[in-house]
């Protein structure tokens, strides 16, 4: 029986510099990844037509797979697309109270993959008269206005709408079209808000409230409205996207939204909590799923090239330098970092790599701190604290809890080096506690899986689990410190039947061979003062899976002691000791 | 790293807002020739609580206003007035020259935008006007050698090239800068020290061109951390252009030889850099005629 065109799907992610596409084919009731290819993105001059890059990348997929995929009028098979930096989504949000409606609006915008240019509120610390100019200077793609619970405040929402109206905010792609404003606030203010935002300046749509009650958040409709506006008003203004819109199946969504969808579904499918970091050139994204709640934050200030000096500016030179394996004076460190920014070298010298890795740790730390504010319980709710809550984390402000994080996923240039280096960056920056799996998106294919989700969820999850996410291994990390020998006793029973028993001294890292597709029964017995997330000295039993580094016990303690320069190499060797089943 | 090209340069010299153009097609211009003048919107906005000045509710302010949105005003001009029943009059005066930007009835406030700011754009390079853009400016053409740097600070300026070192791997030290460097484009070698940068500014040099500079020295010189690589608007009174990058790095010999061969000649330089947004790098233009 011949293959049908319906059996083949092309999924493309249009990045700032590269367009990366994969071809997947139906096989035995599911989809398999048949080929992948890259081509330069063609949004900038001289091409100024994104479809040229799409055409090139599809031709390369044809060559790779031997299939005919491109016809006279474009792709002959289904094409799904997401767009990164070039066609990225730039938004401004506003709400009445910064910690309530503004924060919900921020979560909706960030969750939809937006780059947040600014956020305004009635309790903004900036003087009211500066807001008009601040709003005018933003030039976003979409404005999301929230405020007021349903049946609550109207006049303050209207005052914000008046400021938006007076500001005459122009959209990023010029004055030829109206700026889309999505109102996701008090349902009773819809009519007046729409009237206040004049039709000749703004394309206003109303959607259900992001904060219908003080104790309930409803981000879905706002996110959908953002996707609609992005497709209808924004992306078509980037060169060639109008043509591309006719070639694709469904919507073109921001790549960050596709990543978020993939990670959320993956966590839900496995029933786990997950934290993901994406350390890019100019920004650092953090995604999390805790107890089924998805959040994304974007630290637009820190990255590994364009945003590198902002890491120094925010964290300080000493904070970065402490992670270097050897002494470099401040001038050398600053010069190396500044050159990473201005020269953006393709190939790094060993010193540049070390500085980049040190910066990556601080960029992750800064970005996760920011994420904790976004991934937080709803503010404005009165919580009665009982005596029993005094030492409990049940009413912690943020959902992010490393002891309850079953998986860490990392992507971005910081993780392109050896697996042990990437793992050490994550262990140092995130300090996971308990039993945590670490995985990498080395080929940058998570957005592709996110695009496949709506078409075939099972296939997308399978693609993520079996092909895209490369497991470094399972990491066992006790919290607390102990001076006693034998900090952690490990008993590992492999699925093949062999038994391993190890005593890992306090302050050490130890790797035990456990292959990528191997599982084992783990029994971890911490000494009295250590805690694997279940309480001090409590034994933890779990089924664990392996990875390129195997099963790793990081008994350096939590919080981590200050790094020592001569230990970096020791940790890397320890992490790589069982690499590839050694 | 920096690179040299010889080319016909066409510089579009336009105002950010509509204005008056002062040059004609075919006219020869110098770097200081005013191409166009205009006014731009003043970014400064000041809010005044009229309700507090007049002693009324925010919602009752409107009838007392003497100005409506768009109206111009001079500093101290009366913009709102309330006569009370007992003859006592309360007034509100304009705090600045400007115009009414907006009236916010819910908070009893008016927003006043400062008066437009006059601006002008010059030709930056000597050459011939090959195109006039009505109300905006003109395109100036010149045959020139052009050097693209790696990073710069400070905006457009021009002056005569003056070398301070013999070799491209020589550092520019404070002692090498003297009064004769006033208004000059000072060329160093591998790096420039913080003291030399300060001295160059002190004597009134227009620009310093070197291979590199320590990022820490530049931070100290600027008085703040660089952050993102977007520069050009620094008010330092001097432009700095790096041809190689940060840290001591011998200047590319081709660039050094070019600058040496044009010693005493005019160079028009611009330190404006945008690493990401538009990949704008600093430039040195040496006109050939």
> Residue A550 has what pLDDT?
96
Closest CB to A155 among B101, B106, B216 = B106
How many whole angstroms separate alpha carbon B289 and alpha carbon B286? 9
Q: Is the pTM of this model over 0.90?
A: no
- A126 and A227 co-located in one domain: yes
User: Residue A104 is inside which H or E element, if any?
Assistant: helix A103-111
Q: Report CA-CA distances (Å) from A34 to A15, A332, B237.
A: 21, 46, 60
Q: Locate the chain A residue with the closest alpha carbon to B112.
A: A129
Where residue A386 falls among pLDDT bands split at 50, 70, 90? low
Residue B123 belongs to a domain: no
B215 and A331 within 8 Å at the Cβ level: the answer is: yes
- A72 and A206 co-located in one domain: no
How many whole angstroms separate alpha carbon A450 and alpha carbon A457? 9
CA B83 to chain centre: 48
Residue B24 belongs to a domain: no
Name chain A contacts of B151, Cβ cutoff 8 Å: 338, 342
- A65 and A176 co-located in one domain: no
Q: Locate the chain A residue with the closest alpha carbon to B150.
A: A342
Of A236-250, A460-474, B135-149, B223-237, the one with minimum mean pLDDT is B223-237
Residue B274 belongs to a domain: yes
Where residue A23 falls among pLDDT bands split at 50, 70, 90? very high
Q: Locate the chain A residue with the closest alpha carbon to B151.
A: A342
Q: Locate the chain A residue with the closest alpha carbon to B275.
A: A342
Q: Helix or strand or coil: residue B175?
A: helix
CA B66 to chain centre: 38
**Residue that has been written with the tokens 């005919």 in this structure:** A68
> Residue A484 has what pLDDT?
61
How many whole angstroms separate alpha carbon B39 and alpha carbon B212? 38
Q: Locate the chain A residue with the closest alpha carbon to B2.
A: A343
A vs B: CB pairs below 8 A: 92
> Residue A47 has what pLDDT?
84
- B94 and B188 co-located in one domain: no
Sequential DSSP letters for B17-50: S-EEE---TT-EE-TT-EEEEEEE----EEEEEH
Total domains in the fold of chain A: 3
Name chain A contacts of B214, Cβ cutoff 8 Å: 331, 334-335
Instruction: Among A237, A268, A297, identify where a domain stops.
Output: A237
Closest CB to A162 among B1, B104, B246 = B104
Q: Given CB atoms, is B134 within the 8 Å cutoff of chain A? A: no
What's the CATH code of the domain at B54? Answer: 2.40.50
B245 and A158 within 8 Å at the Cβ level: the answer is: no
Q: Is residue A396 predicted with pLDDT exceeding 70?
A: no
- A95 and A229 co-located in one domain: yes
Total domains in the fold of chain B: 2
Both structure tokens of A173 = 């792609």
Burial annotation B193-217 (CB, 10 A radius, 16+ → b, else e): bbebbbbbbebebbbbbbbbbbbbb
Q: Locate the chain A residue with the closest alpha carbon to B219.
A: A334
Residue B128 belongs to a domain: no
Crossing angle (nearest 10°) for helices A568-575 and A419-430: 120
> Residue A581 has what pLDDT?
64
Name chain A contacts of B153, Cβ cutoff 8 Å: none
Residue A36 belongs to a domain: yes
> Residue B79 has what pLDDT?
94
- A56 and A110 co-located in one domain: no
The whole-chain average pLDDT of chain A stands at 89
Where residue A392 falls among pLDDT bands split at 50, 70, 90? very low
Q: pLDDT of A534-572, one tens digit each?
A: 888 999 999 999 999 999 999 999 999 889 988 999 999
Q: Given CB atoms, is B215 within the 8 Å cutoff of chain A? A: yes
Both structure tokens of B98 = 């400007």
ipTM score assigned to the predicted complex: 0.85
- Average pLDDT of the residues in B19-44: 93
A339 and B219 within 8 Å at the Cβ level: the answer is: no
- A488 and A570 co-located in one domain: yes
Residue A273 belongs to a domain: no
User: Which of B44, B215, B216, B225 is the best residue to mutate to test the A interface, defined by the most A CB atoms within 10 Å of its own CB?
Assistant: B215
**B258 bridge partner residues:** none
- A179 and A51 co-located in one domain: no
**Residue that has been written with the tokens 């409803």 in this structure:** A218
**Residues A113/A253, Cβ–Cβ less than 8 Å:** yes
Residue B201 belongs to a domain: yes
Closest CB to B247 among A312, A335, A341 = A335
A159 and B106 within 8 Å at the Cβ level: the answer is: yes
Name chain B contacts of A127, Cβ cutoff 8 Å: 47
> Residue A85 has what pLDDT?
63
Q: Is residue A105 predicted with pLDDT exceeding 90?
A: yes
Q: Is residue B203 predicted with pLDDT exceeding 70?
A: yes
How many whole angstroms separate alpha carbon A101 and alpha carbon A122? 10
How many whole angstroms separate alpha carbon B272 and alpha carbon B124? 14
Name chain A contacts of B191, Cβ cutoff 8 Å: none
**Residues B23/B33, Cβ–Cβ less than 8 Å:** yes
Residue A444 belongs to a domain: no
Q: Given CB atoms, is B276 within the 8 Å cutoff of chain A? A: yes
- B169 and B227 co-located in one domain: yes
**Residues A366/A311, Cβ–Cβ less than 8 Å:** yes
- B190 and B262 co-located in one domain: yes
How many whole angstroms separate alpha carbon A326 and alpha carbon A567? 10
Q: Is residue B141 predicted with pLDDT exceeding 60?
A: yes
B229 and A342 within 8 Å at the Cβ level: the answer is: yes
Instruction: Among A206, A222, A247, identify where a domain stops.
Output: A247
Residue B125 belongs to a domain: no
Residue A519 belongs to a domain: yes
Name chain A contacts of B101, Cβ cutoff 8 Å: 132, 166
**Residue that has been written with the tokens 């240019």 in this structure:** A117
Name chain A contacts of B46, Cβ cutoff 8 Å: 129
- A150 and A175 co-located in one domain: yes
Q: Locate the chain B residue with the closest alpha carbon to A309.
A: B227
- B104 and B162 co-located in one domain: no
Name chain A contacts of B45, Cβ cutoff 8 Å: 129-130, 132-133
- A210 and A123 co-located in one domain: yes
- A109 and A224 co-located in one domain: yes
How many whole angstroms separate alpha carbon A298 and alpha carbon A142? 17
Residue A131 belongs to a domain: yes
B247 and A332 within 8 Å at the Cβ level: the answer is: yes
- B271 and B169 co-located in one domain: yes
Q: Where are the beta strands (DSSP E) in B75-136?
A: 78-83, 89-93, 98-104, 109-114, 117-122, 127-133
SS3 per-residue string spanning A532-548: CCCCECCCEEEEEECCC
Of A227-236, A317-326, B54-63, B125-134, the one with minimum mean pLDDT is A227-236
- B198 and B252 co-located in one domain: yes
| Domain ranges, residue B247 | 149-287
A159 and B227 within 8 Å at the Cβ level: the answer is: no
How many whole angstroms separate alpha carbon B200 and alpha carbon B182? 8
Instruction: Among A217, A247, A277, identify where a domain stops.
Output: A247
Count Cβ atoms below 10 Å from residue B24 Cβ, excluding itself.
Answer: 9
Q: Locate the chain B residue with the closest alpha carbon to A127.
A: B47
Name chain A contacts of B102, Cβ cutoff 8 Å: 132, 166
Q: Is residue A52 predicted with pLDDT exceeding 90?
A: yes
- Of A17-21, A122-126, B99-103, which has the strongest mean pLDDT? A17-21
How many whole angstroms separate alpha carbon A13 and alpha carbon A41? 10
Q: How many helices (H) and strands (E) does chain B have?
A: 4, 22
- Average pLDDT of the residues in A161-189: 87
A309 and B229 within 8 Å at the Cβ level: the answer is: yes
The angle formed by the CA atoms of residues B208, B210 and B213, to the nearest 5 degrees, is 100
What's the CATH code of the domain at B270? Answer: 3.50.30
- A117 and A96 co-located in one domain: yes
Q: What part of A 133-162 touches B (C-beta under 8 Å)?
A: 133, 137, 155, 158-159, 162
**B241 bridge partner residues:** B152, B209
Residue A529 belongs to a domain: yes
Q: What part of B 44-83 touches A (C-beta under 8 Å)?
A: 45-47
How many whole angstroms separate alpha carbon A130 and alpha carbon A138? 13
Residue B11 belongs to a domain: no
Q: Is residue A87 predicted with pLDDT exceeding 60?
A: no
- B110 and B153 co-located in one domain: no
| Domain ranges, residue A74 | 5-86+242-247
**Residue that has been written with the tokens 């080395």 in this structure:** A442
CA distance A161 to chain B (A): 11
Q: Is residue A382 predicted with pLDDT exceeding 70?
A: no
Q: Locate the chain A residue with the closest alpha carbon to B216.
A: A331
- B70 and B160 co-located in one domain: no
- B154 and B213 co-located in one domain: yes
Residue B31 belongs to a domain: no
- A71 and A120 co-located in one domain: no
Closest CB to A132 among B1, B101, B246 = B101
Q: Locate the chain B residue with the closest alpha carbon to A313.
A: B225
CA distance B85 to chain A (A): 31
Residue A11 belongs to a domain: yes
Residue A570 belongs to a domain: yes
B219 and A334 within 8 Å at the Cβ level: the answer is: yes
């Amino acid at each position: 029986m011949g293959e049908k065109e319906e059996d083949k799907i092309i999924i493309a992610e249009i990045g700032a510099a590269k367009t990366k596409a994969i071809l997947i084919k139906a096989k035995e009731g599911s989809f398999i990844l048949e080929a992948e290819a890259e081509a330069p993105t063609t949004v900038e001059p001289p091409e100024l037509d994104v479809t040229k890059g799409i055409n090139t990348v599809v031709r390369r997929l044809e060559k790779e797979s031997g299939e005919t995929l491109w016809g006279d009028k474009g792709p002959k098979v289904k094409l799904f697309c997401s767009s990164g930096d070039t066609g990225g989504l730039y938004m401004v949000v506003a709400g009445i109270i910064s910690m309530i409606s503004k924060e919900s609006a921020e979560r909706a915008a960030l969750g939809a993959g937006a780059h947040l240019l600014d956020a305004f509120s009635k309790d903004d610390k900036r003087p009211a008269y500066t807001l008009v100019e601040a709003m005018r200077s933003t030039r976003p793609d979409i404005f999301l206005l929230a405020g007021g619970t349903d049946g609550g405040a109207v006049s303050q929402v209207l005052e914000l709408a008046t400021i938006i109206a007076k500001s005459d905010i122009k959209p990023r792609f010029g004055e030829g079209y109206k700026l889309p404003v999505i109102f996701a606030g008090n349902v009773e203010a819809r009519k007046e808000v729409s009237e206040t935002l004049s039709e000749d300046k703004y394309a206003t749509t109303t959607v259900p409230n992001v904060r219908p009650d003080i104790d309930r958040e409803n981000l879905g409709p706002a996110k959908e409205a953002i996707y609609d506006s992005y497709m209808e008003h924004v992306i078509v203004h980037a060169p060639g996207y109008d043509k591309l819109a006719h070639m694709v199946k469904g919507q073109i969504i921001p790549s960050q939204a596709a990543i978020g969808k993939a990670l959320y579904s993956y966590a839900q499918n496995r029933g786990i909590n997950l934290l993901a970091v994406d350390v890019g050139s100019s920004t650092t994204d953090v995604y999390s799923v805790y107890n089924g709640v998805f959040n994304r934050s974007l630290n637009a200030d820190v990255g590994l090239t364009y945003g590198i000096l902002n890491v120094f500016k925010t964290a300080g030179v000493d904070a970065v330098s402490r992670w270097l394996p050897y002494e470099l004076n401040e001038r050398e460190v600053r010069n190396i970092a500044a050159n990473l920014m201005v020269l953006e070298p393709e190939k790094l010298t060993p010193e540049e790599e070390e500085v980049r890795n040190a910066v990556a740790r601080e960029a992750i730390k800064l970005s996760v701190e920011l994420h904790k504010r976004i991934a937080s319980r709803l503010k404005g709710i009165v919580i009665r604290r009982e005596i029993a809550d005094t030492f409990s984390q049940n009413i912690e402000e943020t959902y992010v809890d490393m002891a309850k994080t079953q998986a860490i996923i990392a992507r971005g240039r910081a993780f392109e080096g050896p697996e042990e280096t990437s793992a050490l960056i994550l262990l140092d920056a995130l300090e996971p506690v308990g039993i945590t799996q670490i995985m990498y998106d080395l080929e940058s294919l998570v957005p592709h899986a996110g695009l496949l989700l709506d078409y075939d969820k099972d296939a997308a999850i399978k693609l993520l689990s079996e092909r895209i996410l490369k497991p470094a291994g399972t990491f066992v990390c006790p919290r607390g410190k102990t001076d006693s020998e034998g900090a952690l006793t490990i008993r590992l029973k492999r699925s093949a039947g062999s038994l391993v028993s190890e005593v890992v001294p306090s302050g050490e890292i130890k790797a035990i061979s456990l292959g990528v597709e191997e599982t084992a029964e783990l029994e971890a017995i911490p000494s009295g003062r250590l805690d694997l997330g279940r309480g001090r000295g409590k034994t933890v039993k779990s089924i664990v899976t392996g990875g390129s580094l195997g099963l790793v016990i990081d008994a350096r303690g939590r919080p981590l002691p200050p790094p020592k320069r001569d230990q970096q190499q020791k940790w890397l060797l320890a992490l790589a000791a069982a690499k590839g089943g050694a | 790293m920096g690179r040299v090209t010889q080319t016909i340069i066409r510089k579009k010299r336009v105002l950010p807002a509509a204005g008056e153009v002062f040059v004609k097609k075919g006219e020869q211009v110098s770097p200081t020739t005013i191409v166009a003048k205009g006014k731009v919107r003043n970014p400064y906005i000041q809010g005044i609580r009229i309700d507090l000045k007049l002693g009324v509710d925010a919602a009752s302010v409107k009838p007392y206003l003497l100005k409506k949105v768009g109206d111009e005003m001079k500093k101290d001009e009366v913009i709102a007035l309330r006569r009370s029943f007992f003859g006592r009059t309360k007034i509100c005066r304009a705090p600045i020259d400007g115009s009414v930007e907006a009236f916010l009835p819910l908070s009893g406030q008016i927003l006043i935008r400062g008066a437009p700011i006059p601006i002008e754009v010059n030709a930056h390079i000597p050459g011939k006007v090959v195109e006039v853009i009505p109300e905006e400016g003109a395109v100036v053409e010149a045959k020139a050698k052009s050097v693209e740097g790696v990073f710069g600070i400070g905006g457009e300026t021009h002056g005569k090239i003056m070398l301070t070192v013999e070799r491209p791997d020589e550092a520019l030290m404070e002692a090498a800068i003297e009064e004769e460097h006033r208004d000059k484009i000072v060329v160093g070698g591998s790096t420039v020290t913080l003291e030399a940068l300060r001295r160059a500014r002190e004597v009134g040099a227009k620009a310093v061109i070197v291979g590199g500079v320590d990022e820490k020295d530049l931070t100290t010189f600027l008085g703040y951390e660089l952050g993102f690589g977007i520069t050009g608007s620094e008010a330092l009174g001097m432009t700095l252009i790096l041809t190689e990058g940060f840290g001591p790095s011998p200047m590319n010999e081709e660039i050094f030889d070019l600058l040496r061969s044009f010693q005493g000649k005019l160079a028009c330089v611009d330190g404006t850099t945008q690493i990401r947004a538009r990949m704008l790098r600093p430039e040195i233009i040496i006109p050939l005629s």
